[in-house]
Structure 1
Amino acid sequence: MLEIYIPDFGSVKLEYLVSDFTGTLSVDGTLLPKVREKLNEIAQFLKIHILTADIFEKACTELEGINCKIHIIKGENLDIQKEDYVKNLGAERVVALGNGINDRRMLKTARLGIAVTEGEGCAVDALIAADVHVRSAKEGLDLLLNPKRFKATLRL
């Protein structure tokens, strides 16, 4: 669990990290440098769930050795599927990472939403739905490893 109090934002008690894979933790389906190590470090205090349509069909291979649950989503309404997944975990206990338009609803629903701009960009709707924007997955994961940084970003 990760607990932090952010003035004017409130108490945050997180149990889960829910992240998109393609474009968030990876570029062209290849896991980004340092992400493996950071995810395994975060897995010591948060349960990690990766939600992906896996368009490059590499997620399971790339995430091998990381303490996480991988959920391949298929069909239509991927944004609603991701939002429902977060709600089923208990949205108030979730921090979400994403970059795509299909991540916007989970970013908005999660207690803490982090929009990531990596090599594949970030959809404007995802950016607007998030609480925080970072330039890379590494920066987003570093926020979770150094949670006092959220105070500087989210307080009034």
Structure 2
Amino acid sequence: MIIYEIPGRENIEIENIVFDYNGTIAVDGKILEGVGELFLELEKYANLYILTADTYGTVVEQCKNIPVKILTFPKENAGKSKKDIVEKIGKEKTLAVGNGFNDIPMFKEATLSIAIIEGEGASGKLLWQADIVARNIIEAINIILDKNKLKATLRN
């Protein structure tokens, strides 16, 4: 578990981190360089999930050496599927990371959310729902791992 002590706010406890796949930790179906290594560090503190419709059919192969649970769903109603997964695993202790319009429902449910602007860009509407916006996934994971960076961004 990760506990963030944010001045002027209640502590935030995170047990689960859910990641959108394409556009967030992968581009064109391929995991971005450095993500796997950072997931090895992250998994010491939280349960890691990848939520995907697996558009390219690559998620299982790409993630075979990464300590994550892959949860797939049909391409239709992706936003609702992601929201339902966050609710099921425990929204009150879940951090969501994504880049797309269909990530908005899970951002609304999760306790904390980080929008990524990676190689596929990010939905402008998602940015309005995010607690934090990061330029890329490596930066986002480093923010998650560094309590002081997160505190500086979210303090009241």
TM-score greater than 0.5 by the shorter chain: yes
Structure 1 residue runs of 4+, over 2 Å off?
A: none
Distance in 1 separating the partners of 2:32 and 2:81: 25
Quote the residue 2:65 is aligned against: 65
Cα distance, 1:84 vs structure 2: 1.1
Distance in 1 separating the partners of 2:106 and 2:8: 22
CA RMSD between the two structures: 1.0
Distance in 2 separating the partners of 1:30 and 1:63: 9
Cα distance, 1:9 vs structure 2: 3.4
Moved more, 90-99 or 144-153: 144-153
Deviation readout 1:9-42 (Å, 9 max, x if unpaired): 3211110010101000011111111100001110
Quote the residue 1:98 is aligned against: 98
Cα distance, 1:48 vs structure 2: 0.4
Cα distance, 1:76 vs structure 2: 2.2
TM-score, normalising length: structure 1: 0.96
Cα distance, 1:145 vs structure 2: 1.3
On the 8 A contact 1:105/1:129 being kept in 2, the answer is no
Deviation readout 1:38-77 (Å, 9 max, x if unpaired): 0111011100010011111111111111111001110421
Distance in 1 separating the partners of 2:133 and 2:91: 19
Distance in 2 separating the partners of 1:10 and 1:27: 35
What are the within-5 Å matches in structure 2 for residues 1-156 of structure 1? 1-156=1-156
Q: Which runs of 5+ in 1 are unaligned?
A: none
Distance in 1 separating the partners of 2:75 and 2:62: 22
Determine helix, strand or coil for the equivalent of 2:5: strand
Cα distance, 1:133 vs structure 2: 0.2
Distance in 1 separating the partners of 2:54 and 2:125: 21
Q: Which runs of 5+ in 2 are unaligned?
A: none
